[in-house]
Amino acid sequence: MTTGDEYQLEHLISKRADAREKIHFTTVDLTKQPKDFKPHDKPLHLSWGTPNDGFFPVNSISVEIQDSPFESSLNFHHTNNSLEQLPKDLKKLDLSLEKDKKSVNIVKRGEDKSLIDIRQGFQYSMHSGMDQLNQFCKDFIERVHKPGYNEWTTTLSTGAGDGILKTMDAILNPGDVVLMEEFTFVPSLMMIRECGATGVPIKLSVNSHSEGIDLDYLTNLLENWETLKPGMNKPKALYTIPTGQNPTGLTQSVEFRKKVYALAEKYDFIIIEDDPYGYLTLPPFKKPDGVVKLDEFITVEEYLKDHVTPSYLTIDTKGRVLRIETFSKLFAPGLRIGFIVGHKRLIDVILRYAAVVTKFPSGVAQTLLQNVLYQKFGGVDGWIEWILKMRAVYIHKRNLLINELVKSTIYEKGLIDIIDPKAGMFISVVLKFPEGTDVQEKIDLLNFKFASFGVGVVPGLNMAVDKKFSIERGSFFRLTFAPLNNDEEVVEASKRFVDAVEDFFAKGLEY
C-alpha cells in the first residue's frame, strides 16, 4: 500500500487494482545503503534505455492556430453566416484577431519551464503525464470545480474512454454492480463488463422538464435493494453523465447533485462523473436571426459564476467522486488526452494500472496541447475564452436546429417533444406514439425512413443498458448539430428529419 492510510473508503478499492505492484528495474533498495555512502553529484547514466534526444528526427514544430471556431473554413469560402461578423463585432471580450493571431513554435530545447520542449515531450515520461500539463489540469479544476477536500490530485489519461476504464478497474471486483442512467454512453457498459461487473439501469425521466435520473426510482431501488435485486451485490458505484447527458441532453442541477451525493453517502458508493460536455453551456432556445449574437458572449467570471454547473467534486468531502475529463470535445479527439480527478489514494491505484497497461498518453500530443494552451491561450483563463467562443457557435447551431423543429407541423400537432439541452451537443426528440405502439418496430422502420431522407440520427434505444427495461421510454432520437460544417447544413439536416417524421406519421406509422 502506498499513499493515504487516511483514506476512509479503502473498502471500495478493487482487490485486483490494489494488488498491482509497480516494479522498476533501475531502482536501488535504499535499506541496503552503506553508512558512508555518498552519491556522485554528476552521474552519467548507462542505465536507462532512453534514446538521446539527438536521435529524435524532429528539431522544431510550428503550429498555425485559428483564432475562432470555423475561421479556417471561412477562409476556404465555406459559408457560415453565423460567423462572418464575428471578429469585428467582438467588444465584450478582447478577442480581436490581431492580438491573438500567432503561431505556436515548439523548440528542441527551451527555457520556459511551463512549456514542454521536444527534448522532453518526445522522451519517456511519468505515467501520470508530464508535470506541466498535469499542473494545467489542476489549475483548471481549482478554478472551475474546486473539490471540497484537499487530498485530491489528477492524472492524465488517453481520453475519457481510457479514464472510464481506469476508474472502473480501480473499484470493481467481479460480481460488483454499477448503477447507470438507463440510456448512456454504451462503451462504458462494455468497460464495466470488462471488469467482471454488471451495469444496472436507473430510470430516467426523458422529457423537457427533467434533470435526468428519476430520483424516486433511485431512492426506492437503494432502499429495497435486497428485495428488488435479490442475490446481487450492493452497488459499488454510480456512473453518471451529469451535464448535457449522452444521449438525452439532460442536465442535473447542483441541488439535484447534492441529493444524489447524499444517497452515495448513505449507501456507500463511489460516483463516477463522466463530463465531456459540461463546459458547453447553453442558455434556453431562442429563435435565431442569422448571426451569432453578441449577447451570447459572456466574460469568464460570468461564465464560472452563472453558467457552469458545479461538478460533484465541489460537493465531495471524502474522495467519493472520480471525475473524468477529456480534451476530445473542446480541442480534438485525435489528441487522445483527458484526465481524471480524484482522491490521491484512488489516483495512485489508477497509476499502477497505467504502469502495467497504458503508460502515459502520447508525449507528442501532450507537447502540442501544452504549448497551444500556454503559447496561444496563455493558460487557464485563455483556454476558457476559447471554450466561450465555441459555446457561442454551439448556441447558434442549437437554435437553428430547434427552430426547424418547432416550426414543423409535427410539433404543432404535439407529435414530438423536444428536449432543449442546457449543455452539450445533443437534442432529444421524443416521438409521441399512440398508446400500445410497438416502439421497437417503429424505431426500426424510422431508421430506414431517416436513411432514405438522407439524415443520420441515433435511436435512444440503441444506447439503452437494457432495451427491455427501457422500451417504454425509448421512443426518442438523439440529434446533434456539432459535426455539420455550416448553417445551411444544419437547417437542411433538420428539415430532412422533420420531413421524414411527417411522412412516417402521414403514412400511419409505416415506411
Ligand X SMILES: Cc1ncc(COP(=O)(O)O)c(C=O)c1O
Cα distances from 389 to residues 86, 288, 334, in angstroms, run 10, 17, 21
Phi, then psi, of 34 in degrees rounded to 5? -65, 155
| Rounded least distance, CB 133 to ligand X, Å | 15
What per-residue string of b and e applies to 285-313 under the rule 16 or more CB within 10 Å gives b? beebeeebbeebbbebeebbeebbbbbbb
Which of 262, 297, 264 is CA-nearest to residue 281?
A: 297
Write out the DSSP string of 54-106: GG-S--EEEE---SSTTHHHHHTT---HHHHTHHHH--SS---HHHH---EEE
Quick check: 424 binds ligand X (CB under 6 A)? no
| Rounded least distance, CB 474 to ligand X, Å | 18
| Rounded least distance, CB 180 to ligand X, Å | 11
Gap between the terminal Cα atoms of the chain? 61
**Positions in 60-89 near ligand X (CB under 6 A):** none
Quick check: 246 binds ligand X (CB under 6 A)? yes
Which of 317, 18, 311 is CA-nearest to residue 148?
A: 317
Quick check: 121 binds ligand X (CB under 6 A)? no
Quick check: 338 binds ligand X (CB under 6 A)? yes
Quick check: 159 binds ligand X (CB under 6 A)? yes
From candidates 116, 137, 144, 160, binder to ligand X by CB under 6 A = 160
Quick check: 325 binds ligand X (CB under 6 A)? no
Cα dihedral 331, 337, 342, 343 sign: negative
Quick check: 247 binds ligand X (CB under 6 A)? no
From candidates 144, 156, 241, 390, binder to ligand X by CB under 6 A = 241
What is the rounded distance in angstroms from the CA atom of residue 323 to the CA atom of residue 160? 10
Compute how many residues bind ligand X; rule: CB under 6 A. 12
What per-residue string of b and e applies to 351-383 under the rule 16 or more CB within 10 Å gives b? bbbbbeeeebbbbbbbbbbbbbbbbbbeebeeb
| Rounded least distance, CB 426 to ligand X, Å | 9
Q: HSE, CB side, 13 Å, CA atoms: give it for residue 67.
A: 16
Judging by DSSP bridges, how do beta strands 198-202 and 177-181 pair with one another? Answer: parallel
Instruction: Considering only the stretches 28-36, 134-142, 155-163, 469-477, report the one whose residues sit in contact with ligand X under the rule CB under 6 A.
Output: 155-163
User: Could you say which DSSP state residue 510 is in?
Assistant: -
From candidates 134, 326, 475, 486, binder to ligand X by CB under 6 A = 326
Residue for grid cell 463546459 = 279
Instruction: Considering only the stretches 26-34, 282-290, 326-334, 474-482, report the one whose residues sit in contact with ligand X under the rule CB under 6 A.
Output: 326-334
Q: Which is nearer to ligand X, 160 or 204 (CB)?
A: 160
Quick check: 278 binds ligand X (CB under 6 A)? no
Quick check: 276 binds ligand X (CB under 6 A)? yes
Residue 381 grid coordinates: 483563463
Q: Which is nearer to ligand X, 277 or 411 (CB)?
A: 277
Strand partners, 31: none
Quick check: 333 binds ligand X (CB under 6 A)? yes
Instruction: Considering only the stretches 118-126, 158-166, 167-175, 295-303, report the one whose residues sit in contact with ligand X under the rule CB under 6 A.
Output: 158-166
Cα distances from 195 to residues 56, 173, 343, 463, in angstroms, run 38, 7, 21, 20
Which residue number places its CB atom closest to ligand X?
159
Quick check: 161 binds ligand X (CB under 6 A)? yes
From candidates 66, 73, 114, 328, binder to ligand X by CB under 6 A = 328
Residue 469 grid coordinates: 427495461
x/- mask, ligand X, residues 281-320, rule CB under 6 A, reads ----------------------------------------
Quick check: 212 binds ligand X (CB under 6 A)? no
| Rounded least distance, CB 45 to ligand X, Å | 35
Instruction: Considering only the stretches 7-15, 63-71, 106-114, 153-161, report the one whose residues sit in contact with ligand X under the rule CB under 6 A.
Output: 153-161
Q: Which is nearer to ligand X, 107 or 372 (CB)?
A: 372
Instruction: Considering only the stretches 13-21, 167-175, 325-333, 363-371, report the one whose residues sit in contact with ligand X under the rule CB under 6 A.
Output: 325-333
Residue for grid cell 440503441 = 462
Quick check: 185 binds ligand X (CB under 6 A)? yes
10 Å CB burial of residue 167 (0-12, 13-18, 19+) is buried
Q: Which is nearer to ligand X, 210 or 328 (CB)?
A: 328
From candidates 211, 274, 316, 385, binder to ligand X by CB under 6 A = 274
| Rounded least distance, CB 161 to ligand X, Å | 3
What is the rounded distance in angstroms from the CA atom of residue 503 to the CA atom of residue 498? 9
Query: 436 — alpha (psi -120 to 50), left (phi > 0) or beta?
Result: left
- CA-based angle 98:101:103, to the nearest 5? 155
Q: Which is nearer to ligand X, 308 or 501 (CB)?
A: 308
What is the rounded distance in angstroms from the CA atom of residue 478 to the CA atom of residue 445? 16
Quick check: 181 binds ligand X (CB under 6 A)? no
Residue 275 grid coordinates: 463530463
| Rounded least distance, CB 183 to ligand X, Å | 11
| Rounded least distance, CB 262 to ligand X, Å | 24
| Rounded least distance, CB 17 to ligand X, Å | 20
For ligand X, the binding residues (CB under 6 A) are 159-161, 185, 241, 246, 274, 276, 326, 328, 333, 338
